A and B are shown apart, each in its own frame.
Chain A
Amino acid sequence: MDAVAATEQDFRPPSLRKRLSMALENPTFLGFLFVAPAELLLLIFLAYPLLLGLWLGLTDTIVGREGNFIGFQNYISLVHDASFWLTVFNTFLYTLVAVFFKLILGVGLAVVLNRDFKGKGLMRAIVLLPWIIPTALSAICFWWLYDSTFSGISWTLIKLGLMDHRINFLGDAWNARWSLIVANIWRGVPFFTIGLLAGLQTINPDLYEAAEIDGAGSWARFRKITLPLLMPLLTVVTVFSTIWTFADFQLVWVITRGGPGGATHIFGTLSFQRAMSGGHFGEGAAISNFMLPILVACVFIAFVFLRKED
């Protein structure tokens, strides 16, 4: 008996284990197994919320309470809300102006850094700092730098004789908008520079030499060689930056909280204010959902270009 039991015990577990190890050799089974943790997390905390957000936009949900379906009521009331249209205007202004300057300044800095000089590595590390440091923290710094009385910028401009009064950075609607845009440019330039620097380094120097022999000036070399070769990378970087700037939140929330008097709200801050501070989840979700069409367009562009590169 003992011998039989022993052989059975010897026999059974290996067969199970064998079946399992055989299944693990099957790429499809193993593939699904390996992808499962990532997919589950993304399904529960990304895909589901995305759909839930669309639904919430159609309800009158208040924080902590299930809402009722109210159709497009939230969207209709937003369309008749002047502060919402100001937010649309602000978001587009913020995105277009900031991305434009980040692009110009980012390419400029990449070109400046793309030559051999002492301390190049250190310089590259310094340039990335605004991108690395937590945005909320550098935003606090800008908030203080934009103080109406104690700003170092006002002081310097007055001492240089360029100005005769202190700038009310955040108290005036337009000043506040420009101040936020400058802070955003400051934060975003490094991303463009470092991303493009990698692209610049792959350009064959012989091309420039040949062009120089042919008598091309430095502007012509930049326009005819650098720019076309950099185009695919430039597009990707710009699309990414556009998405992030369009969906920004931290800088505006920390520096102005959407003020003065709601004049600098962008989509992110307005929806946060209505949903979290005001408790109106439905209305907040509706505001966020207005971002979707633009983002889908950006994602589509990114996708087409990434595919082309392959």
Chain B
Amino acid sequence: MVGERFGSKLIKFYTPLVLYLVFLLFPFYWMANTVFKSDIELYDLALNPLYIHSPTFDNVAHLFTQTIFLRWMWNTFFVAILATIISLAASLLAAYAIQRLQFKTSGPTGVAIFLGYLVPQTILFIPLAHIIFKLRLWDSLWSLILTYPTFLIPFCTWLLMGYFKSIPKEMEECAMIDGTSRINIFRKIILPLCLPGILSAGIFCFTLSWNEFIYALAFISATTSKTVPIGLVTELVRGDVYHWGPLMAGALCASVPVALVYSFFVEHYVAGMTGALKE
């Protein structure tokens, strides 16, 4: 590729790259562009809609003062953190047991957990709503904290099994000869060694919980218990009145935490995603 002519590089590389970027980024531009416009400007058909003529923070102010956006953010954060902790703990133990203890049914157990990853929430939400109703968890954040691990654990277990596989068995065997108990081997040797894996799995759990939609929409109807995506979609659209400005402001602000977590750990995210695919 060294002696490649600029013309051929333009056709094969720059042009497609720019087209892809425009396609992938335009919706974000449209979102950010709407946030800082006043309603008057937003609904003026004579103006160029791709450009902000007189920027304003009115929409962001509306979001924080006229709605309980911060409460929704807190709810989402609370659910995401707890679901992540539960899932990580359960997955770490399960993955280690399946990958390293080699007990009798470890093979089938691993496959069964993986199959859980392939059951979509769209099939489960109706019977789950029935169960949640019977457990009197309706409108409670615990309905989400308890159900989110069902789609987090299968993925995490699979991801962590890959990490455990990469740790040499000899390390464990040496420790065992030295008389270290299995529990201590897990705590003091395995866990520290697979910290990157735990980090990747944690990021996945957090972003997936933050983004979850259908369970939260089905199980929560009280305004104060809603998560961000549900709150925005159901509370900022009343009948035919769309508050586009505040809606876009909400979408932008609620995306920031995920985007931040993601931008700090993008390498881990990509490694986790591709690692899980290869497994």
Q: What is the interface of chain A, defined by CB distance below 8 A to chain B?
A: 21, 24-25, 27-28, 30-35, 37-39, 41-42, 45-46, 48-50, 52-53, 56, 61, 63-64, 105, 108-109, 112-113, 115, 117, 121, 123-130, 132-138, 140-142, 144-145, 147, 149-150, 152, 155-156, 186, 189-191, 194-195, 197-198, 218, 233, 236-237, 243-244, 246-250, 253-254, 267-268, 271-272, 275-276, 281, 284-285, 288-289, 291-292, 295, 298-299, 302
A-B residue pairs, 7 tightest by C-beta: A31-B103, A247-B120, A136-B229, A198-B274, A34-B97, A38-B94, A49-B127
Q: Does B64 contact A (CB under 8 A)?
A: no
Which of chain A's residues has its CB closest to B186's CB? Answer: A34
> In the bound complex, do residue A45 and residue B251 qualify as a contact, i.e. CB atoms below 8 Å apart?
no
Instruction: Give the CA-CA distance A235 to B27 in the complex, in Å.
Output: 29
Write out the residue numbers on chain A whose beta carbons fall within 8 Å of the beta carbon of B85.
none
Which of chain B's residues has its CB closest to A125's CB? Answer: B266
Which of chain B's residues has its CB closest to A134's CB? Answer: B211
Write out the residue numbers on chain B whose beta carbons fall within 8 Å of the beta carbon of A108.
16, 20
- B253-279 CB contacts (< 8 Å) to partner A: 254-255, 258-259, 262-263, 266, 269-270, 273-274, 277-278
Q: Does B101 contact A (CB under 8 A)?
A: yes
Return B100 CB to nearest CB of chain A, in Å.
9
Write out the residue numbers on chain A whose beta carbons fall within 8 Å of the beta carbon of B21.
126
Whether A137 touches B229, Cβ cut-off 8 Å, given contacts A38-B113, A50-B124, is yes
> In the bound complex, do residue B24 and residue A52 qualify as a contact, i.e. CB atoms below 8 Å apart?
no
> In the bound complex, do residue A41 and residue B149 qualify as a contact, i.e. CB atoms below 8 Å apart?
yes
Contact with A along B160-183 (1 / 0, CB 8 A): 000000000000000000000111
Could you say which of B42, B232, B248 contacts A136, with CB atoms under 8 Å apart? B232
Q: Does B13 contact A (CB under 8 A)?
A: yes
Q: Does B70 contact A (CB under 8 A)?
A: no
Could you say which of B45, B120, B232, B270 contacts A124, with CB atoms under 8 Å apart? B270
A-B contact pairs, 20 of them (CB 8 A): A31-B101, A37-B89, A41-B146, A41-B150, A49-B131, A50-B127, A63-B133, A112-B13, A112-B17, A124-B270, A140-B232, A194-B270, A195-B274, A198-B277, A218-B12, A236-B277, A243-B118, A249-B213, A249-B214, A291-B120
Return B27 CB to nearest CB of chain A, in Å.
5
- Further contacts, 15 of them, CB under 8 A, given A41-B149, A276-B217, A299-B115: A30-B183, A34-B96, A42-B113, A52-B130, A109-B20, A128-B262, A133-B259, A136-B211, A137-B228, A137-B251, A138-B251, A152-B49, A198-B270, A248-B122, A302-B118
> In the bound complex, do residue A133 and residue B96 qualify as a contact, i.e. CB atoms below 8 Å apart?
no
Q: Does B153 contact A (CB under 8 A)?
A: yes
Write out the residue numbers on chain B whose beta carbons fall within 8 Å of the beta carbon of A155.
48-50
> In the bound complex, do residue B28 and residue A35 qualify as a contact, i.e. CB atoms below 8 Å apart?
no
Whether A127 touches B24, Cβ cut-off 8 Å, given contacts A50-B119, A132-B259, is yes
> Among B16, B28, B31, B118, which residue has the most Cβ atoms of chain A within 10 A?
B118
Instruction: Give the CA-CA distance A156 to B26 in the complex, in Å.
Output: 12
Return B44 CB to nearest CB of chain A, in Å.
10
Which of chain B's residues has its CB closest to A61's CB? Answer: B130
Q: Does B59 contact A (CB under 8 A)?
A: no
Instruction: Give the CA-CA distance A50 to B124 in the complex, in Å.
Output: 6
Return A112 CB to nearest CB of chain B, in Å.
5
Q: What is the interface of chain B, defined by CB distance below 8 A to chain A?
A: 1, 12-13, 16-17, 20-21, 23-28, 30-31, 33-34, 42-43, 45, 48-50, 86, 89-91, 93-94, 96-98, 101-104, 106, 109, 113, 115-116, 118-131, 133, 146-147, 149-150, 153-154, 157, 181-183, 207, 210-211, 213-214, 217-218, 228-230, 232-233, 244, 247-248, 250-251, 254-255, 258-259, 262-263, 266, 269-270, 273-274, 277-278
> In the bound complex, do residue B25 and residue A276 qualify as a contact, i.e. CB atoms below 8 Å apart?
no
Return A165 CB to nearest CB of chain B, in Å.
13
Instruction: Give the CA-CA distance A69 to B29 in the complex, in Å.
Output: 52
Which of chain B's residues has its CB closest to A37's CB? Answer: B90
Return B97 CB to nearest CB of chain A, in Å.
4
Write out the residue numbers on chain B whose beta carbons fall within 8 Å of the beta carbon of A236.
277
Return A220 CB to nearest CB of chain B, in Å.
15
> In the bound complex, do residue B270 and residue A275 qualify as a contact, i.e. CB atoms below 8 Å apart?
no
Instruction: Give the CA-CA distance A12 to B102 in the complex, in Å.
Output: 32
> In the bound complex, do residue B218 and residue A276 qualify as a contact, i.e. CB atoms below 8 Å apart?
yes
Write out the residue numbers on chain A whose beta carbons fall within 8 Å of the beta carbon of B258.
132-134
> In the bound complex, do residue B247 and residue A144 qualify as a contact, i.e. CB atoms below 8 Å apart?
yes
